[in-house]
Amino acid sequence: MKVSGRKTGSALSHAPDNWYAVDWRRVEWNVRGMQIRIAKATREGDWRRVKALQRMLTRTLSAKLYAVRRVTQNQGARTAGVDRERWDSPERRWEAIGRLKRRGYKPLPLRRVFIPKANGKERPLGIPTMRDRAMQALYLLALEPVSESMSDPNSYGFRLNRSTADAMSQIFVAMSQKGSARWVLEADIKGCFDWINHDWLENHVPMDREILRKWLKAGLIYKGQLQATEAGTPQGGIISPTLANVTLNGLERKLIAHLGAKFGIAKARKLKVNVVRYADDFVITGDSKEMLEREVRPWIEAFLEARGLQLSEEKTRIVHIDEGFDFLGWNFRKYSGKLLIKPSRKNVQTFYRKVAETISGNKTVKQEDLIRLLDPMLRGWAQYHSPVVAKQAYSRMEHLVFQRLWWWSKRRHPQKSSSWVRRKYFHSIDDRQWVFAVRTVRDDGSWGLTEMYQLSGTVIRRHKKIKGEFHPFDPEWEQYGEQLRQARLWDSMRYRKQWAKLYMSQGGLCAHCGCALTDETGWHDHHLEYRMHGGSDRLFNRVLLHPHCHQQVHVGKLAVTKPVLS
C-alpha cells in the first residue's frame, strides 16, 4: 500500500457503527498519512506544525480505532491491569473508543508483576490498564514519526523493521576487516528503565507534556500498597521502549561529533569509533584501549548522567576482539584474524535449561503434545541463530535434547526393553535415524509421521542488514521498506511452506482488508469454503487473514475471494 506525502483526510469516509463495520484499510491509510506529515515537519524543524499535527492525529477516530486494535490483538491483551478489565469482546472494544479522550483523563496505577530473567533474577514489569495501554498506543502513533526522524542510524531496538540481526550485522561490518577496530567498550546501563529522570523526559520528549507527566507519576500497586514512581519509565507499557529510545537518541551522533570537534574529522575517523545500540544495550568500537578509557567512556558517563542514568561498573568493560565479547545472545571473537559470530555459551545454556524443564515438567503428556510444545521453542531458537556460525551449536543442542527425550521415553515404560521404546517413539525418516516422531492421521485420512523440528537441518543464511538511514515514515523509502518487510516475513515463514506460498500469492496483504500482514499483526489460515461444508485443505481453498479480519468475516458471514495480483 503506497501512501504519498499529500494531505490525507483524518476522518473515515463512512463512519462505522460497530467494531466489525470498520474499514481497516482506510484506517491505516488515514493514520499513516498523518504520520508522514508529522515526520516531514520534524525533518524541516517546524516544531509548531509537529505539535499541531500530533494533536490532530490523537483526536481522530482512525487513530483511536488503530490504538484499540493494537492493544486487543497483541499477546498482552489477556493480561488485565489493576481494574481487572479486559476488552475481550467487539462491544467492549467499540465502547472503549469513546473513552480515549484527553480531557479529564487520569491514568490508574500500574500493577506490579515480576518475571524471571536468564540470570536467575527477576525483572519488574508494570502492567497498565487496558484504557491506559490504548492511550499510550494512541500517543505513540504521534510520537513514533518524530522519534524515528531523530534516531541514530545504528540504533536497532524497538524500531520499525529493525532487529537484533541488524545490530549483529553492523558489528560484523565494523570489525570484520583486517584493519578494523580491535577494541570494544561493552556497556551496560544500570537499571535503565528504572532510573530515567522524569524532568529530563518531560523537557525533551516531543509529545503532550501533561499526558506524559500523568503516566510517569501514576504510581504502582504491589501487594496491595500504592507506591510512588519518582523516576524511570516502567517496563510493560507500550510507549516505554520508545521513551527509552528517545532518551538515548544522540548517543552515536553526538559522540562522533564530539570526537570530530576535538581531534578533527580526519583523525576522528582513524579512531575507528562505531556505536551499535539495541535498546539500552550498546557496544562502542575503537582502535585503542586508552582512547576508549580516556575519551569515550567519560563522555558516555556525562551523556547518561544528564538523563539520570549511569553505567554498571560490574558489567561494563573494555575487551580486545581476540578475547571476544557477548552481545544479544551471540559471541563475537576473532580467530587468527577472522571474525566469527556464534551463539554465546550463556544463551545456549539458558535455552537448554528451558527445554529440559519443559520435558521434565510434561512427563505424562502424549508424545504428540510434547512435540507441539517443543517445536516452536526449537524452531524459534534455531531461526534466531540462523544468520551466524551455529551448526556446531545446533548439533550439540540436538544431542542434548535427544538425551532428555530418551530419558523421557524410557521413564514411561520401565518394564519395556530399549528396542521396544525406540520402535515406539523414534523412527527412521529418509536417511535419518532416531527421529523423535509420532504416527498421526492426515486430513485426507492417510497415516503419516509428525516429527519434532530438526535443529541440524536449519539452513545458515547471511542476514541482509537494513540501511542505517532508512526512515519508515518517508515516502522515498516506501518501496524499500515494503520489499524488506516482505522478504523478512518470507524468511520467518520458510519452514512453513504452505503459509509462505499463500503469503507470496497474496503479495503479503490480508485477503479481506488489503492491509499488510506482519509478525506484529499475526495471521489466520482461512478456508474459503469451510471444511464442515466439504471444503478442501488444498491451497486454492485457503487465504491468510488478519486475526481481527478473520473474526469479522465469520461474524458477518462475509465472502472472501482469492486475491489476484496485478
pLDDT of 254 > 70? The answer is yes
Whole-angstrom CA distances from 293 to 208, 264, 297 are 39, 19, 5
User: Domain coordinates of the chain in residue numbers?
Assistant: 345-457, 475-556
pLDDT (0 to 100) of residue 525? 82
What mean pLDDT do residues 187-215 have? 93
As a whole number of angstroms, the distance between CA 60 and CA 35 comes to: 12
pLDDT, tens digit, 9 for 90 and up, residues 39-86: 999 999 999 999 999 999 999 999 999 999 999 987 777 888 899 999
Q: To 5 degrees, how large is the angle CA 17–CA 519–CA 136?
A: 55
Q: What is the pLDDT of residues 403-444, one digit of tens each?
A: 999 999 999 999 999 999 999 999 998 889 999 999 887 655
pLDDT at 76: 76
93 half-sphere exposure, CB direction, 13 A CA radius = 21
Q: Which amino acid is at 68?
A: V
- Given a cut of 90, is residue 393 above it in pLDDT? yes
**How many angstroms separate the first and last alpha carbons of the chain?**
13
Residue 1 has a pLDDT of: 35
The residue that leads in pLDDT, 121 or 16, is 16
- The class that CATH gives domain 475-556 is alpha beta
Q: What is the pLDDT of residues 289-324, one digit of tens each?
A: 999 999 999 999 999 999 999 999 889 999 999 999
Average pLDDT, the chain: 90
pLDDT value for 444: 59
Return the half-sphere exposure (C-beta side, CA atoms, 13 A cut-off) of residue 117.
Answer: 7
494-512 mean pLDDT? 79
Give the model's pLDDT for residue 529: 81
| pLDDT of 145 over the 50 cut | yes
Percent above pLDDT 70 for the chain? 93
pLDDT at 490: 74
Q: Which three cell numbers stand for residue 64?
A: 483511536
Check whether 553 has a pLDDT greater than 90.
Answer: no
The phi and psi torsions of 499 (rounded to 5 degrees) equal: -60, -40
